[in-house]
Amino acid sequence: MKAACKVDRKKGIIVKDVPVPEIGEEDVLVKVKKAAVCGTDIHLYNWNQWCENVNAKNPMVIGHEFCGEVVEVGRNVKGLEKGEMVAAETHIPCGICFLCKTGRQHICLNMKIVGVHTDGAFAEYAKIPAVCAWKLDKNIDPEIGAIYEPFGIGVHALSKTKISGKTVVVTGCGPIGLFTINLASMSGAKTIYALDLNEYRLNLATKMGNNIVPINPSNTNGSEKILKETSGIGVDVVVELSGAVPATKLGFEVLKKGGAIMLVGLHDNDVSVDFVNNVIYKEAIIYGITGREMFDSWYDADDLILSDKSKVSEVITDRFSLEDTEKAILTAAEGNCGKVIIDIG
């Protein structure tokens, strides 16, 4: 089969022929229909320090956001059949550690990630553990199926607190940020402040629902504007998705007393926060968010997408073939896009 492979620690990838994966007793083999580019794939393409820090596999087939048709089922697998369409939960839980046994598989002590620690899905076929296969409704377009995974991160973040009637700040308008803005709008947020340095993505953000205020911190003092518009009180909810230190600091500055902040973006450097004034005296509620809750986030994502009220399809802006996976990754890295899809099958 054809697959996009990371063959060494040098920058770049190669699309080449590799063997079709052989599945185990607990696995399924999926004929990949659509895949999507994530920031993780950009890290792997460049092979930066993050890859070494997480002990990423090398060489390997990359890619982890995808959906496709089940074509082979392991002998011990139940509840999945050939011909069914599935999306992939990319966190692979061990199933036996303390966290797995107490309902927190998504932060498993022995967790591995598809396309990071195991061969991934920028390929004609992908092998995943059956526990990670989410059965899709027959009405779901494969492109939408491929972005359930990142959409679910936004679902997870906003599940932590009430959004209806609240003021919300979303820092970072990449695809997950756009999904989160759409979800906040669908949830009845009063006002949503969308912050990003990229005008293209800010423009996309304004299409994600109602009462969205775009702010570019390069030409507007975001903290001053938000505090002024909230009469100095601040906002009820902050979702930090940029992984940028200044954005995270702004999030704590504009958070109202008793407000909730969800930290999702991954930072390259330590972040210094005024804990006395912006956490302790505010009685701020802080949530760390990683991935999707297995499988609460998936059920919620299903309901939201099937409701036909989401704007997830509008986040998809670019499409490439498997042969052009490198172009797809470079397009995503440039940032003047929404979600980038790779059409495989």
- Which H or E element spans position 186? helix 175-186
How far apart, in Å, are the Cα atoms of 103 and each of 108, 158, 263, 295? 10, 19, 21, 9
CB neighbours of residue 154 within 10 Å: 30
Residue listed under structure tokens 């949830």:
187
- The whole-angstrom separation of Cα 289 and Cα 264 is 5
Give, for 246, the enclosing helix (H) or strand (E): helix 245-254
- 43 a catalytic residue: yes
- Marked catalytic residue, from 40, 118, 248, 325: 40
**Cα 213–Cα 214–Cα 220 angle in degrees, nearest 5:** 110
- DSSP result, 11-56: S--EEEE-PPPPP-TTEEEEEEEEEE--HHHHHHHHT-HHHHHTT-
Distance CA 221, CA 250 (A): 10
Task: Evaluate whether 121 touches 66 at the Cβ level (below 8 Å).
Answer: yes
Q: Is 40 an annotated catalytic residue?
A: yes
Catalytic residue, candidates 43, 64, 91, 156: 43
**DSSP for 90-118?**
-EE--SSSHHHHTT-GGG-TT-EEBTTTB
Beta bridge partners of residue 192, listed in sequence order:
168, 212
Residue pair 122/271 in contact by the 8 Å Cβ criterion: no
**CA 214: distance to chain centroid?**
21
The tally of CA atoms less than 13 A away on the side-chain side of residue 183 is 30
Those residues whose C-beta lies under 8 Å from the C-beta of residue 334, and which sit 6 or more positions away, are none
Q: How far apart are CA 338 and CA 285, in angstroms?
A: 30
Give the active site residues.
Answer: 40, 43
